[in-house]
Amino acid sequence: MIGLISATAAGTAARDRLAAAWPDRTRVYEGPVREAVERAFEECEQLVCFLATGAVVRLVAPLLAGKAVDPGVVCVDEAQQHAVALLGGHGGGANALARAVSDALPGCRPVVTTATDAAGIPGLDTLGWPVEGAVAAVTRAILDGDPVALHADAQWPLPALPPNIRSAATDPAPGPGSGTSGDVPPPPRAERPTPVATVAGPGSDAPGAADGLAAASAPAVDTTGPADTTSAAVTAVTADTTVVADTAAARATGAAPASRTADATSTAVLWVTDRTVPLGERAAVLRPASLAVGVGASRGVGAEEVLELIREALAEAGLSARSVAELATADAKADEAGLVEAAQRLGVPLRTYAADALSAVDVPNPSGAPLAAIGTPSVAEAAALLAAGQGAELLVPKRKSTPENRPAMATAAVARRRPRGRLAVVGLGPGARDLLTPRAREELRRASTVVGLDQYVDQIRDLLRPGTRVLESGLGAEEERAGTAVAEARAGRAVALIGSGDAGVYAMASPALAEASDDIDVVGVPGVTAALAAAAILGAPLGHDHVSISLSDLHTPWEVIERRVRAAAEADIVVTFYNPRSRGRDWQLPKALGILAEHRAPATPVGIVRNASRADESSRLTTLAELDPATVDMMTVVVVGNTSAREVAGRMVTPRGYRWQT
Ligand code: SAH
């Protein structure tokens, strides 16, 4: 809930505006300001105060309890020009709230002073994964440009990290199928023309320097040698306690040798691992959501017994509970209160599987009891493996709880997911920055690698995080771009494949997805395609059935194109021609217009839009009879009306056919 507090008439008007915009998320606190702030601070996750920052600082100062628990606080000034994220920028969500408030109040701008946000660097606590250890010290080092040694078990699809975070070593694979770069086929670049690789951001000229995490290209440091595993056990941070790492157990799961330290040159260390690792004074660890815990239970099992079993299983294997992404069990146990509560207390979902799905999984320790009870020889191991998905690795085989003086009621097993790369296919819109969707912008910042045509990269280069790898190539290299994007994602990276307009319209989405296998996650972000951008400029030409036809016969035989033009002509459908005419391809447009003219009057309106939404945008309305093909080029779309399309007050209108209009 967001608490709203105001004092003045102007503040109260703005407050009411916000309350009306977000009726379910806000609560208005009336009465004397001090008490209102105190109550809201106590009751809400976030506050928006329509008060001066100074006043709010004084009011909340005595209430502050700590970064992890204080609400996020945003102040809005009397003229509503600024929404200031005052407190709890990341943890309290105040930075995001300041932006949302600005969107809701016209003319208002967010003021965000958190260093990582201002520098365009992803805060360690904004990556969606738990982070532990010396977060502030490591963040400081990142911001100061100090070397930060990165130890990642695998290539995780994280956003671009700044160039001073360098992969310190390619850690040994924690086990087969664990998804380190070694077991993913490297991008088959040798067979493709190499795209130009650059790294976005000031002061960086080293391609690959910020290659996401633990890049395939990172020099492999030999960590398999005789590590000093006899040294004293060291303190390691796990989920809820500080424990002493058992080096033998750590070895069993491939955990780092206890004596492992960062590069000699590095002062700060960032781990990305689900293992318990030694954390020095300047070390932080990001916990990927990599573990699935399968649980079996007898009816009436207590949550504490389940949780204790999970704690033991993880601790002995040297794994962190903060990397547990879900609990998994059989459908028959979906309502088992002890399991439901255990999942709740771990803060993860409880996923359930049908008995026949569980029985189909090959497990090391099948048994007769669950087979008799619910029809599968394995619950814990099978559910863990199913939940962890393709390429999962069983790290902890089935074990039973060990309650005192009574039979065990729970079993658990732990599986590790193979990291999945992420391919976002992002439409950039026709050109204007304000026609780039917020979601596209987010995806560009979410990526560590951007693949695209050089001129499209230019369109958005300033939006990329410092350290983003940019793989750009020229016109004609479509196949290579599609292959590169997919290979980069298969190597575990977060990739954005960009295209102008909508990336799925005569663009890269289909060649890329035709190559993509199901071992990567794919996200599509729609963009404003040229036909829509042009239509909005022309008026309402697409008010009834319409079709887009590309006149490029590079990839499609002309006979096919002609057949489609003829079909559209006969069906009286509005047609938008993409790729209408180039220097070497000039007869297709007149030919296509001729086919349409066989079924439409010479006076049929035709709209021509060049460079829609770009600096040199131009548009013209003409007719089928009068169109001069010389005015059309590859930066243009041509929209031909149907038989009922008309010019009204200089605009092109295709009637929708409402009865009240006839
Ligand atoms: N994916 C793009 C289309 C790529 S095909 C989209 O969804 O818009 C390239 C053709 O699109 C160009 O030859 C031109 O016909 C059209 N086009 C792309 N952007 C345009 C713009 N801003 N103005 C006019 N036409 C455009």
- pLDDT for 287 equals 95
Domain stop point among 384, 415, 446: 415
**510 touches 221 (CB < 8 A):** no
Is the beta carbon of 507 within 6 A of some atom in ligand 1? yes
Of ligand 1's atoms, which has the minimum distance to the CA of residue 507? 1
Is the beta carbon of 636 within 6 A of some atom in ligand 1? yes
Is 256 found in the same domain as 164? yes
- pLDDT for 116 equals 73
Residues 6+ apart with CB under 8 A from 87: 60, 64, 70, 71, 72, 73, 94
pLDDT in tens, 21-35: 999 999 999 999 999
pLDDT at 357 over 50: yes
CB atoms within 10 A of CB 156: 26
- Band the pLDDT of 659: cuts 50, 70, 90: confident
pTM of the model: 0.72
pLDDT in tens, 395-424: 999 999 998 889 999 999 999 999 999 999
- pLDDT for 658 equals 77
- What distance in angstroms lies between residue 530's CA and the mean position of ligand 1's atoms? 5
- Band the pLDDT of 554: cuts 50, 70, 90: confident
For residue 492, the one-letter residue type is G
pLDDT in tens, 360-393: 999 999 998 888 889 999 999 999 999 999 899 9
Is the beta carbon of 637 within 6 A of some atom in ligand 1? yes
For ligand 1, atom 2, name the residue with the nearest CA. 501
Domain stop point among 75, 90, 113: 113
pLDDT in tens, 324-342: 999 999 999 999 999 999 9
Residues 6+ apart with CB under 8 A from 64: 70, 87
Residue 120 lies in a domain: no
Of ligand 1's atoms, which has the minimum distance to the CA of residue 634? 13
For residue 108, the one-letter residue type is C
- pLDDT for 467 equals 86
Q: Given 3-state DSSP classes, what are the helix, strand and coil percentages for the chain, each rounded to the nearest 5? A: 30, 25, 45
pLDDT at 202 over 60: no
Q: Give the residue numbers spanning the domain of 67.
A: 2-113
- pLDDT for 662 equals 61
For ligand 1, atom 6, name the residue with the nearest CA. 501
Residue 119 lies in a domain: no
The CATH number of the domain holding residue 223 is 3.40.1010.10
- pLDDT for 215 equals 34
Q: What mean pLDDT do residues 467-488 have? A: 89
CA dist., res. 462 & res. 439, Å (int) = 16
Residue 628 lies in a domain: yes
Strands across the sheet with 494-499, in order? 196-199, 469-473, 449-453, 494-499, 421-427, 520-525
CA dist., res. 170 & res. 214, Å (int) = 6
Residue 335 lies in a domain: yes
- pLDDT for 115 equals 77
CA dist., res. 529 & res. 18, Å (int) = 33
Residue 182 lies in a domain: no
- What distance in angstroms lies between residue 201's CA and the mean position of ligand 1's atoms? 29
pLDDT in tens, 294-310: 999 999 999 999 999 99
For residue 147, the one-letter residue type is P
- What distance in angstroms lies between residue 642's CA and the mean position of ligand 1's atoms? 21
Number of DSSP helices (H) and strands (E) in the chain, helices first: 19, 32
- pLDDT for 466 equals 83
- pLDDT for 169 equals 59
Residue 181 lies in a domain: no
**637 touches 530 (CB < 8 A):** yes
- What distance in angstroms lies between residue 432's CA and the mean position of ligand 1's atoms? 13
Buried b (16+ CB within 10 A) or exposed e, 326-335: bbbbbebbee
* DSSP for residue 582: B
**140 touches 200 (CB < 8 A):** no
- Cα–Cα nearest to 367, from 355, 357, 379, 353: 379
CA dist., res. 72 & res. 56, Å (int) = 12
Is 383 found in the same domain as 428? no
- What distance in angstroms lies between residue 578's CA and the mean position of ligand 1's atoms? 6
For residue 627, the one-letter residue type is L
- What distance in angstroms lies between residue 252's CA and the mean position of ligand 1's atoms? 56
Is 347 found in the same domain as 218? no
Is the beta carbon of 499 within 6 A of some atom in ligand 1? yes
pLDDT at 536 over 60: yes
pLDDT in tens, 257-275: 433 444 444 489 999 999 9
- pLDDT for 201 equals 56
- Band the pLDDT of 321: cuts 50, 70, 90: very high
pLDDT in tens, 570-581: 999 999 999 999
Is the beta carbon of 578 within 6 A of some atom in ligand 1? yes
Residue 441 lies in a domain: yes
> Nearest 5°: CA angle at 230, between 228 and 231?
80
- Band the pLDDT of 244: cuts 50, 70, 90: very low
CA dist., res. 381 & res. 397, Å (int) = 7
pLDDT at 237 over 70: no
The CATH number of the domain holding residue 357 is 3.30.420.180
CB atoms within 10 A of CB 273: 23
- pLDDT for 260 equals 41
Q: Transcribe 512-553 into DSSP letters.
A: HHHH--TTEEEEEE----HHHHHHHHHEETTSS-EEEEE---
Is 154 found in the same domain as 132? yes
- pLDDT for 369 equals 86
Helix 33-43 × helix 53-60 angle, to 10°: 60
**Ligand 1 pocket test, candidate residues 425, 453, 478, 500, most atoms within 8 A of CB:** 500
pLDDT at 177 over 50: no
CA dist., res. 121 & res. 479, Å (int) = 32
Give the number of domains in the chain.
5
Q: Transcribe 52-109 into DSSP letters.
A: -HHHHHHHHGGG---TTTSPEEEEE-TTS-EEEEEE-SSTT-HHHHHHHHHHHSTT-E
Is 299 found in the same domain as 252? no
CB atoms within 10 A of CB 242: 10
Is the beta carbon of 500 within 6 A of some atom in ligand 1? yes
On the 0-12 / 13-18 / 19+ scale of CB atoms within 10 A, 197 is: middle
Is the beta carbon of 502 within 6 A of some atom in ligand 1? yes
On the 0-12 / 13-18 / 19+ scale of CB atoms within 10 A, 258 is: buried
Is the beta carbon of 612 within 6 A of some atom in ligand 1? yes
Is 336 found in the same domain as 222? no
SS3 13: helix
Is 398 found in the same domain as 320? yes
CA dist., res. 91 & res. 345, Å (int) = 20
pLDDT at 208 over 60: no
Is 142 found in the same domain as 48? no
Is 92 found in the same domain as 109? yes
Domain stop point among 463, 493, 527: 527
Residue 542 lies in a domain: yes
SS3 407: coil
Q: What mean pLDDT do residues 157-186 have? A: 58
Which of 9-18, 215-224, 281-290, 427-436 shows the lowest per-residue confidence on average (mean pLDDT)?
215-224
**Ligand 1 pocket test, candidate residues 475, 554, 575, 579, most atoms within 8 A of CB:** 579
- pLDDT for 196 equals 63
- What distance in angstroms lies between residue 390's CA and the mean position of ligand 1's atoms? 39
Instruction: Name the strand (E) or helix (H) holding 118.
Output: helix 115-118
Of ligand 1's atoms, which has the minimum distance to the CA of residue 503? 1
pLDDT at 533 over 70: yes
- pLDDT for 478 equals 82
pLDDT at 176 over 60: no
Is 558 found in the same domain as 486? no
Q: What mean pLDDT do residues 224-233 have? A: 33
Instruction: Specify the higher pLDDT residue, 347 or 202.
Output: 347
Task: Please state, rounded to an integer, the average pLDDT across all residues of the chain.
Answer: 85
Residues 6+ apart with CB under 8 A from 149: 166, 168, 262, 263, 266, 268, 269, 270
- What distance in angstroms lies between residue 579's CA and the mean position of ligand 1's atoms? 7
The CATH number of the domain holding residue 655 is 3.30.950.10
- Cα–Cα nearest to 609, from 535, 503, 527: 535
Q: What mean pLDDT do residues 547-567 have? A: 95
Is 425 found in the same domain as 367? no
- Band the pLDDT of 199: cuts 50, 70, 90: low
- Band the pLDDT of 551: cuts 50, 70, 90: very high
For ligand 1, atom 9, name the residue with the nearest CA. 579
- pLDDT for 195 equals 57
Residue 434 phi, psi (nearest 5): -80, 0
Is 382 found in the same domain as 437? no
Is the beta carbon of 110 within 6 A of some atom in ligand 1? no
- pLDDT for 575 equals 98
pLDDT in tens, 39-76: 999 999 999 999 999 999 999 999 999 888 899 999 99
Of ligand 1's atoms, which has the minimum distance to the CA of residue 530? 8
- What distance in angstroms lies between residue 611's CA and the mean position of ligand 1's atoms? 8
